[in-house]
Structures are given as structure tokens and as C-alpha cells.
């Protein structure tokens, strides 16, 4: 399948409460790691099979707590430009996430928000 969903991320105001809730509800293996650039803690969600994700504290955007879906792409710069051509609003232009990858966030013409991810690490 071309361009699958590869990551799902919770942006929350209360990370400890979210960890307790989702860990208790689903039994997810949650692993804390430092955010690139010293931006706090990022909690990886390891689910075994299927698409995993992460959780992070968002005290700055003003958005309510929400889940963000990421679609894997080969060239995030080209896909972000193409999304703009097709009528999307670029909410977060292409940015580096440490040495892990590149991402952008778009809002489609219907108002839905989606992130795109280009991994800089080879699989395997």
C-alpha cells in the first residue's frame, strides 16, 4: 500500500493522566524518551503489531487534546507542496525531528488535519 498511516500521536495537556488511562485501557507498552532539542518528554506507544505512536504534552498550541495521524511518504517536501497545490493549508511546514525524520502538518480543504512523515532511518 502506498503512503500508509505510520504513526498516531496524542497531543494532551496532561501526559501522566493520559499514560495511566491508555496504559490501563489497552495495556500498551509506554516508553518515555527525551524530545529532540530538549523539548520535554515524548512517550512512545509500542503496540507490538500494527501502527504504534506516541504521546506528548501540548501546552502551547491552544488546540484541545487530540490524536494526530501521520502518513508515511518518500518525499515530505514534494508531498507538502503538492498538498498546497491541491488546496491544503500548510499548518507546519517541513521540519526536522532530530535525526529520525522530517514532518509537516496540513489542513485539507475540508478542514481535517493530517501529518506527513518521511523517515531518515532505513527499516531493518
Which domains are assigned to the chain? 1-63 (3.10.180.10), 73-124 (3.10.180.10)
Phi, psi of 88 (to 5 degrees): -75, 155
On the question of pLDDT at 1 being above 60, the answer is: no
CB within 8 A of 123, min separation 6: which ones? none
pLDDT tens figures, 17-32: 999 999 999 999 999 9
**Average pLDDT of the residues of the chain:** 92
Closest CA to 119 of 106, 100, 105: 100
Q: Can you name the residues that pair with 32 across neighbouring β-strands?
A: 43
The grid cell for 25 is 485501557
Residue scoring higher pLDDT (37 or 97): 97
CB within 8 A of 106, min separation 6: which ones? 80, 83, 84, 88, 89, 90, 91, 113, 114, 115, 116
| Cα–Cα distance measured from residue 113 to residue 44, given in angstroms and rounded to the nearest whole number | 21
On the question of pLDDT at 124 being above 80, the answer is: no
| Strands of the chain, DSSP E | 5-12, 29-34, 41-46, 53-57, 66-72, 89-97, 101-107, 113-119
Amino acid at each position: 500500500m502506498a503512503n500508509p498511516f505510520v504513526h498516531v500521536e496524542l497531543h494532551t495537556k496532561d501526559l501522566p493522566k493520559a499514560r495511566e488511562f491508555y496504559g490501563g485501557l489497552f495495556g500498551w507498552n509506554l516508553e518515555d524518551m527525551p524530545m529532540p532539542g530538549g523539548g520535554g518528554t515524548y512517550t512512545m506507544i509500542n503496540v507490538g503489531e500494527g501502527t504504534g505512536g506516541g504521546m506528548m504534552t501540548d501546552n502551547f498550541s491552544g488546540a484541545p487534546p487530540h490524536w494526530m495521524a501521520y502518513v508515511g511518504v518518500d518525499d515530505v517536501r514534494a508531498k507538502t507542496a503538492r498538498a498546497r497545490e491541491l488546496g491544503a493549508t500548510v499548518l507546519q511546514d517541513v521540519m526536522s525531528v532530530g535525526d529520525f525524520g522530517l514532518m509537516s502538518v496540513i489542513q485539507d480543504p475540508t478542514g481535517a488535519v493530517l501529518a506527513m512523515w518521511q523517515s531518515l532511518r532505513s527499516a531493518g
